[in-house]
């Protein structure tokens, strides 16, 4: 067997050879994470029996739904409120927050993975990136409009659309060059996202400066300040702020009792608060739902710290905080070491996660000895750092497991690699972005979610395509580097460019009021695109370029 063999070839082998193939083929092993579903299916089941295959696929789909459910709860209850708090602390508007905080927070694990893997480039990299852009900007953006229609400022839309179209068209141009590409071609490609972020930040600063000038004219009763200026100020002022309520901090009085009073009851209330009233009055399905959901929520409450300024003591729980000071750095360092392929500390010959725990354990003991159950310590205000790292890395590992599950299902069901990348693998990798954006839209932040449908694909392309192209052109210097677009890549790119035209047409014909009709158009177009891919997979039609 060649090391470059595709895992999808396993179904073409006789049944007795399939187990050895998935164990020894690199494409199979590198796409599994916490649990090897391919080994389970091909080594522990008799795949010649279609009944066993059916139950194996059904079992994997049930696990997939449970993992997706856990990721959804982590995003809704922990990650989205944290993003809003960070954007509020940095005083960003929705557009700038979508370009910076949301795009970078969603894409940073992907960037770590790409850097840790040595910036690899394959013939399917372009297909993967244009499929992500198609999914996020056409399907997810359309769903955002369906959930919560909104008005977007024309200048912000044209800026975001311009950078996304430039990114798509330039990458398409690089892959279509007959003579290959050099360093001079790949450096501009790597700078597109950086220029995008700088432009968004400068836009917000210019907007704030214009608002300050108008407010100064109004406060000094300047004769030049007229009704037009007043109307302009009323339109610009909301664009500088986030629609968020900033409650006042209430400091709780000190109790003269023991510093560990109600320690365990406080911890239990922080971990377990089951809705018994809803359980008693609910239907059988709702009771099953609540019972299945509670273990997930208890695990998330233990793994992700929460600072909620609207709760008494801001959600402070002494024993829970001490446990999290040990647990969160432990699993964060473990996940980072797995991503960066760092196993041991050379001088002490210990796993990195154990070294991190040994450093945090004395600090947690000090916190336990010096704090009280009835008073929030000053250290607790920095808990958002733990929360950010814990939530983003937990979501990353859940997304990776979803990807492994989709990869296993596509392999078992005999899908081609290119079809899997354009559909199920793309959906698995971007499922967290979809949940975040749809939840933001549901909570009244559709502009941030819509802006992220532009910026997140540009950042993904920067991490997975632009940087590998730059690395490949440097390695090939003084010769040119020859990237491959592939037949599916060209097909998806053409559909994407047409979809971008539909997006622009929807905005301009409604005066930039993103109505549900616009969302329906984009979602329907994406479903049509998936139908075309199914026809390509079944050989009913041919892809472009063939």
Domain boundaries, the chain: 9-43, 49-219+229-238+384-538
Per-residue pLDDT, 348: 55
Residue 248: the pLDDT is 47
Model-level pTM?
A: 0.74
Token look-up 């400068």 returns 202
Structure-derived torsion over alpha carbons of residues 394, 135, 483, 33, reported in degrees to the nearest 10? 30
The fold adopted by the segment(s) 49-219+229-238+384-538 is A middle domain of Talin 1 (1.20.1420)
Whether the pLDDT of residue 345 is over 60: the answer is no
Separation in Å, CA 171 to CA 101, 193, 249, 264: 24, 13, 49, 57
C-beta separation of 414 from 8 below 8 A:
yes
Backbone angles phi, psi at 31, to 5 degrees: -100, 10
Size of the chain in residues? 546
pLDDT at 145 over 90: yes
Share of the chain above pLDDT 90, in %: 14
Using the predicted structure, report yes or no on whether residue 322 has a pLDDT greater than 70.
yes
Q: Which pLDDT belongs to residue 141? A: 93
401-416 burial string, b = 16+ CB within 10 Å, else e?
bbbbbbbbbbbbeebe
State the average pLDDT for the chain: 79
Assess whether pLDDT exceeds 60 at residue 115.
Answer: no
What is residue 150's three-state secondary structure? strand
**Top-ranked range on mean pLDDT: pick from 285-299, 378-392, 495-509:** 495-509
Chain position carrying tokens 């795949």:
47
Give me the pLDDT at residue 342, please.
61
Measure Cα distances from 239 to 4, 77, 162, 202, 453 in Å.
52, 26, 20, 14, 19
Per-residue model confidence (pLDDT) at position 165: 94
Least confident among 133-137, 339-343, 391-395, 419-423? 339-343
Query: Three-class SS of residue 385?
Result: helix
| Position 241 confidence tier, pLDDT thresholds 50, 70, 90 | low
Does residue 481 sit in helix, strand or coil?
strand
Of 90, 103, 88, 84, the closest CA to residue 163 belongs to 103
pLDDT in tens, 191-205: 998 899 888 888 877
Residue 3, pLDDT > 50, answer: no
Per-residue pLDDT at 251 exceeds 70: no
Bin 118: left if φ > 0, else alpha if -120 < ψ < 50, else beta: left
> What pLDDT is recorded for position 542?
83
Burial of 479 from C-beta contacts in 10 A (0-12 / 13-18 / 19+): exposed
Per-residue tokens: 357: 């725990």
Mind giving me the DSSP string for 229-295?
HHHHHHHHGGGGS-S---PPP-PPPPPSS-TTTTHHHHHHHHH----HHHHHHS-HHHHHHHHHHHH
**Which two three-digit tokens encode residue 236?**
């610009």
**pLDDT score at 249:** 45
Taking the CA atoms of 486, 492, 493 and 494 in sequence, report the sign of the dihedral they define.
positive
Whole-Å CA distances, 115 to 109, 120, 451, 464, 471: 10, 9, 26, 9, 11
């Amino acid at each position: 067997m060649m090391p470059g063999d595709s895992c999808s070839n396993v179904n073409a082998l006789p049944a007795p050879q399939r187990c050895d193939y998935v164990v020894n083929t690199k494409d199979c092993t590198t796409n599994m994470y916490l649990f090897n579903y391919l080994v389970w299916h091909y080594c522990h089941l008799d795949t010649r029996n279609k009944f066993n295959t059916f139950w194996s696929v059904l079992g994997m789909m049930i696990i997939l739904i449970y993992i997706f459910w856990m990721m959804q709860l982590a995003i809704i209850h922990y990650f989205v409120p944290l993003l809003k708090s960070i954007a509020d602390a940095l005083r960003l508007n929705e557009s700038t927050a979508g370009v910076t905080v949301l795009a970078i927070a969603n894409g940073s694990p992907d960037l770590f993975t790409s850097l840790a893997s040595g910036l690899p480039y394959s013939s399917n990299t372009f297909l993967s990136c244009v499929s992500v852009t198609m999914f996020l900007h056409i399907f997810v953006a359309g769903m955002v409009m369906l959930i919560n229609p909104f008005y977007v400022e024309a200048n912000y839309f044209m800026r975001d659309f311009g950078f996304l179209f430039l990114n798509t068209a330039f990458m398409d141009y690089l892959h279509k060059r007959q003579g290959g590409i050099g360093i001079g071609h790949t450096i501009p490609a790597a700078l597109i996202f950086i220029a995008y972020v700088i432009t968004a930040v400068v836009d917000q600063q210019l907007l704030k400066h214009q608002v300050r000038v108008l407010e100064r004219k109004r406060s000094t009763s300047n004769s030049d300040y007229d009704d037009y200026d007043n109307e302009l100020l009323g339109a610009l002022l909301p664009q500088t702020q986030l629609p968020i309520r900033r409650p006042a901090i209430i400091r709780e009085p000190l109790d003269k009792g023991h510093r560990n009073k109600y320690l365990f009851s406080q911890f239990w209330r922080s971990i377990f608060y089951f809705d018994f009233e809803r359980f008693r009055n609910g239907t059988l399905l709702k009771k099953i739902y609540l019972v299945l959901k509670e273990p997930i929520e208890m695990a998330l409450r233990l793994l992700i710290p929460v600072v909620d300024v609207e709760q008494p003591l801001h959600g402070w729980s002494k024993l829970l905080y001490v446990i999290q000071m040990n647990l969160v750095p432990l699993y964060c360092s473990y996940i980072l070491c797995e991503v960066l392929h760092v196993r041991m500390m050379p001088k002490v010959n210990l796993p990195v996660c154990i070294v991190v725990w040994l450093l945090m354990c004395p600090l947690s003991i000090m916190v336990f000895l010096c704090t009280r159950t009835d008073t929030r310590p000053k250290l607790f205000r920095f808990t958002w750092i733990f929360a950010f790292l814990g939530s983003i890395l937990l979501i990353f590992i859940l997304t990776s497991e979803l990807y492994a599950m989709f990869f296993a299902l596509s392999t078992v069901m005999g899908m081609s690699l290119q079809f899997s990348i354009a559909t199920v693998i793309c959906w698995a990798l971007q499922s967290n972005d979809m949940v975040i954006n749809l939840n933001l839209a549901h909570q009244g932040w559709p502009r941030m979610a819509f802006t992220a449908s532009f910026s997140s694909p540009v950042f993904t392309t920067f991490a997975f395509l632009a940087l590998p192209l730059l690395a490949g052109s440097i390695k090939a210097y003084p010769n040119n580097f020859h990237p491959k677009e592939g037949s599916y890549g060209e097909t998806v790119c053409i559909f994407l460019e047409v979809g971008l035209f539909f997006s622009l047409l929807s905005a301009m014909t409604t005066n930039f009021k993103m109505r549900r009709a616009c969302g329906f158009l984009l979602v329907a177009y994406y479903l049509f695109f998936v139908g075309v891919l199914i026809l390509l997979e079944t050989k009913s039609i041919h892809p472009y370029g063939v």
